[in-house]
Amino acid sequence: MKKRPSLQNRLIVSAILTVIALGAISSYVTYQVVKYRLTRAFDDTLESKARALLSLTKFEKDGNLEFEFTSDSMPEFASPRSPEYFLLLASDGTILAKSPSFGHANFTETALRRVTSEGVFDHILPDGRMGRVLAIRGFPVVEKDSENEDGSSSTPRPASALSRPIWVVVARERTSLDRALRHVAVALAFGTLFLGFAGTAVLILVMRHGLNPLRKLATDVENVDITSLETRFSTPSLPRELAPIAERLDELFSRLRKAIARERRYTSDVAHELRTPLSEISIALEIAEKFADVGEEARTAIKQALEATAECRTLTETLLDVARHGDNARKPPMAPVDVVRVAEEEYRRLRDQASAKKLHVLQRGDTERALVLSNEHLLRAIIRNLFGNAVEYAPEESEVVIEIRHDPAKGVGLSISNIAKDLVAADLESMTEPFWRKDAARTDRQHSGLGLTLAKSIAKLLDLELSLNLSADHIFTAALQWPATQNVERNAAHLGEEAW
Amino acid sequence: MKLLLIEDSRRLRDSLMTGLKRCGYAVLAAADGEEGLRLARMGQYDVIILDLMLPKIDGLTVLRQLRAEGCETNVLILSARDAVESRVEGLRSGADDYLIKPFSFDELVARIQALARRRFGKRSPVIEVGYLRIDTSARIAYADGVPLDLTAREFALLEFLAFHKNRIVSRQDIEEALYEDRFALTSNAVESAVCLLRKKIDRPNHPSLIQTRRGLGYMLTDAPEPEGEKAE
């Protein structure tokens, strides 16, 4: 049978996937934010340097650009190891100054074009490292030689008419930035993974714990059977969400319990109440048959009435048995029983009937004795019914096969087979229903249609499996199977086929 | 033999009375526990047939009461309750037998006979007295192997005498055992019955097996004394 999906597993998987997805998204967003901030800080540093460099520039009166840069004040632009770079460019792209770190190298044309178009970008530095380039456009101050009225020198101010814009380009390797970003990415990735694993573990525990009441309710419902209908599912500790389900189950089971008790009581009461009037009828008829001075017709009528009374009596007793044994709460006393012996004894009762129909009864089996733990009285009732049905319904001069097998692993099995041309596969489902008979007109009054119902009830009471089978060539087989746990001992001897 | 039938079902009570009387038993009947208890206390019975589901006082209470008062009469319970617990309870309360409804009349009679034999200490249903062979189960008596044509009352008388073989039973004992209401009997009813029975069982030229003891009663014996000494 296809396995049902698990609510718990579904919840856990969904929650885990959600947590992981959210973790991944948040990690990505966090990374992007951090990357932006770090890059921005990096760029701000570059810009500060660019501005610092711009502040060192000054247009002299003769229009020349003075650049008061010294390697001592900004040694990073002359460092032999991991230097930074700067360029001062005129508006037309002419290089006005460059850092000592360039040496004989220069920025590529591509880079120079990007300076004016992008402002800040990543580019390979002259020393081959990946760097970040930032360019600002500024106006160097113009040196003015003017005095104030009080004779002090005035602060040089850029003269828009004389100052020309220049580009200050600063570049430095971005290894440290990339390393920091990598660290952040790794940290976030590990964090996401940890969240995934830890979250999974926590979710599993939390889900299991949270679904415990549901699981318990499911187990309780699963364990309910005909003997435990008084089980109550609704308890004070049950969660609010499950309470309506449990309460409704309690109500339904209570009604079911009462209905079953009512049905059993009804069946039992009806049969019981029938006993007294049946006694009255049968005694009156018996006395009339014995002592009444009546004619032949009356005597025949009395005899027929007695036969009908006997049928009613059998019916009421069977009804009472069905009602009694339907109550599986009352287990019968069990003791070792030899199935082979019981089967032989029950068959002997029917031997005359079988002979009258010229039935050929075959015994097959692999054991002389098959001891099981059972109740002999009830077992006889089932076997008697099954044998009786086989002998009754097998066509004349046909074969009836009784087989008893003892498999230590599977247990003892008894089966009886006969030809049943009138049966169809659909009948198998109904045969154990009360009062089922193949003949819808119920002409045959010898059989009430309760035999297999009773056999089924008793089989259940004795923990036996009763199975009914009809083969394609109309061989009907009724089989009893004992579980291996009910084996008592085995005394095996292969008998082959033997006619009883 | 005398029976007390305590059964509230009128139809069943009437049928059983008819049948048992036809079998030769004297039968008194009660329709409820109270009446049954009263009748049981008043008379002597060979067997009390007691239904359990009775109005006024239920059958088990009647039984327990009788046993508590020292009543030793055999009691056969009739009941529709077939559960083991019910049967055990009935027997433990003092019943001698338990018959479940619906039952066969023949079975009821057989059980009554068995209880009666037990009362008289007889295990076998066949009693032999001289040339008489009395089968209390089949209700047939034989003289030298020839079946006797006895009415039910005659057989009941013979059976009663046979149960008391070689012992004297008084006219009163016979009246108590064989008649429902001895006070309605004529003064010579027993003598007439004995006389009729003698005619059927006596052999010619042989002392009657039914001996009369003047002032005492009658005795069925397999060693009869000569005729001169038995006249009343």
Residue A469's pLDDT is: 92
Contact A276 B19 (CB under 8 A): no
Q: What is the mean pLDDT of residues A165-194?
A: 91
Q: Look at residue A235 and tell me whether its pLDDT is greater than 90.
A: no
Q: Look at residue B103 and tell me whether its pLDDT is greater than 70.
A: yes
Q: Mapping DSSP to helix (H, G, I), strand (E, B) and coil, where does residue A47 land?
A: helix
Q: Look at residue A28 and tell me whether its pLDDT is greater than 60.
A: yes
Highest mean pLDDT among A151-155, A400-404, A425-429: A400-404
Chain B: residue whose CA lies nearest to A283: B105
List CB contacts (< 8 A) between A270 and chain B. none
Q: What is the mean pLDDT of residues A67-72?
A: 85
Supply φ then ψ for residue A181, to 5 degrees: -65, -40
B103 touches chain A (CB under 8 A): yes
Q: Look at residue B230 and tell me whether its pLDDT is greater than 50.
A: no
Average pLDDT of every residue of chain B: 88
Q: Look at residue A500 and tell me whether its pLDDT is greater than 50.
A: no
Please list, in sequence order, all residues whose beta carbon lies within 8 angstroms of the beta carbon of residue B185, skipping any fewer than 6 positions away: B175, B179
Contact B80 A276 (CB under 8 A): yes
Q: Look at residue A496 and tell me whether its pLDDT is greater than 50.
A: no
DSSP state letters, A405-419: EEETTTEEEEEEEEE
Highest mean pLDDT among A228-232, A362-366, A433-437, B86-90: B86-90
List CB contacts (< 8 A) between B9 and chain A. 276, 279-280
Q: How far is CA B23 from CA A31, A296, B178, in A?
A: 114, 22, 12
List CB contacts (< 8 A) between B55 and chain A. none
Question: Judged by CB atoms within 8 Å, which residues 250-269 of A form the interface with B?
Answer: none
* Of A5-9, A334-338, B37-41, B44-48, the least confident: A5-9
Q: What is the mean pLDDT of residues A60-87?
A: 84
Neighbour tally for A380: CB within 10 Å:
18
Chain B: residue whose CA lies nearest to A316: B102
Residues A324-346 pLDDT 10s: 666 555 667 788 999 999 998 88
A50 vs A63: which has the higher pLDDT: A50
Supply φ then ψ for residue A93, to 5 degrees: 95, 0
For residues B105 and A286, give the distance between their C-alpha atoms in angstroms, rounded to a whole number: 7
Please tell me what DSSP assigns to residue B93. Answer: T
A313 touches chain B (CB under 8 A): yes
Q: Look at residue A492 and tell me whether its pLDDT is greater than 70.
A: no
Q: What is the mean pLDDT of residues A250-270?
A: 79
Q: Look at residue A271 and tell me whether its pLDDT is greater than 70.
A: no
Highest mean pLDDT among A23-37, A224-238, A288-302, A313-327: A23-37
Highest mean pLDDT among A218-227, A288-297, A491-500: A288-297
- The share of chain A scoring above pLDDT 90, in percent, equals 20
Residue A308's pLDDT is: 84
Q: What is the mean pLDDT of residues A129-138?
A: 91
Quick one: how far is CA A498 from the chain centroid? 53
Q: Strand B210-213 and strand B217-220: pairing? A: antiparallel
Contact B22 A291 (CB under 8 A): yes
Q: What is the mean pLDDT of residues A173-198?
A: 91
Q: What is the mean pLDDT of residues A28-47?
A: 93
For residues A85 and A68, give the distance between their C-alpha atoms in angstroms, rounded to a whole number: 16
Contact B16 A283 (CB under 8 A): yes
Angle between helices B152-163 and B189-201 (to 10 degrees): 90
B84 touches chain A (CB under 8 A): no
A53 touches chain B (CB under 8 A): no
Q: What is the mean pLDDT of residues A179-199?
A: 91
Taking phi over 0 as left and psi of -120 to 50 as alpha, with beta for the rest, B101 belongs to beta
List CB contacts (< 8 A) between B19 and chain A. 283, 286-287, 290-291
For residues A444 and A436, give the distance between their C-alpha atoms in angstroms, rounded to a whole number: 12
Q: What is the mean pLDDT of residues A84-97?
A: 87
Residue B161's pLDDT is: 92
List CB contacts (< 8 A) between B11 and chain A. 280, 284
Chain B: residue whose CA lies nearest to A285: B15
- Name the residue with tokens 């990096």: A42
Supply φ then ψ for residue B180, to 5 degrees: -70, -45
Q: Is B144 exposed, middle or buried (0-12, 13-18, 19+ CB in 10 A)?
A: exposed
List CB contacts (< 8 A) between B105 and chain A. 282-283, 286-287, 290
Q: Look at residue A122 and tell me whether its pLDDT is greater than 60.
A: yes
HSE, side-chain direction, 13 A CA sphere, residue A489: 6
Q: What is the mean pLDDT of residues B28-47?
A: 93
B75 vs A150: which has the higher pLDDT: B75
Residue B32's pLDDT is: 94
In sign, the C-alpha dihedral spanning A388, A392, A394, A400 is positive
B123: tokens are 């295990």
Question: Judged by CB atoms within 8 Å, which residues 318-377 of A form the interface with B?
Answer: 320
Dihedral over alpha carbons A12, A16, A22, A27 (to 10 degrees): 160
Average pLDDT of every residue of chain A: 82
For residues A22 and A13, give the distance between their C-alpha atoms in angstroms, rounded to a whole number: 14
Q: Is A221 exposed, middle or buried (0-12, 13-18, 19+ CB in 10 A)?
A: middle
Q: Look at residue A315 and tell me whether its pLDDT is greater than 80.
A: no
Residue B108's pLDDT is: 95
Closest partner residue to B105 (CB to CB) among A276, A283, A320 is A283
Contact B12 A290 (CB under 8 A): no
Candidates A24, A27, A35; CA nearest to A180 is A35
ipTM of predicted assembly, 2 dp: 0.77
Residues B137-166 pLDDT 10s: 888 999 988 999 999 889 999 999 998 988
Contact A286 B22 (CB under 8 A): no
Closest partner residue to A283 (CB to CB) among B12, B81, B82 is B12
Residue A47's pLDDT is: 92
For residues A500 and A365, give the distance between their C-alpha atoms in angstroms, rounded to a whole number: 12
Contact A279 B106 (CB under 8 A): no
Quick one: how far is CA A358 from the chain centroid? 58
Residue A31's pLDDT is: 94
Q: Look at residue B110 and tell me whether its pLDDT is greater than 80.
A: yes
Neighbour tally for A205: CB within 10 Å:
10
Q: Mapping DSSP to helix (H, G, I), strand (E, B) and coil, where does residue A369 land?
A: strand
Q: State the count of interchain CB pairs (< 8 A) between A and B.
A: 54
Residue A491: which pLDDT band, with cuts at 50, 70 and 90?
Answer: very low
Query: pTM higher than 0.90 for the full model?
Result: no
- The share of chain B scoring above pLDDT 90, in percent, equals 48
Chain A: residue whose CA lies nearest to B15: A284
Candidates A433, A385, A415, A386; CA nearest to A481 is A415
Contact B15 A272 (CB under 8 A): no
How near does any CA of chain A get to the CA of B40, in Å? 24
Residue B229's pLDDT is: 47
A275 touches chain B (CB under 8 A): yes
Contact A286 B9 (CB under 8 A): no
Residues A422-433 pLDDT 10s: 888 888 888 877
Contact B12 A309 (CB under 8 A): no
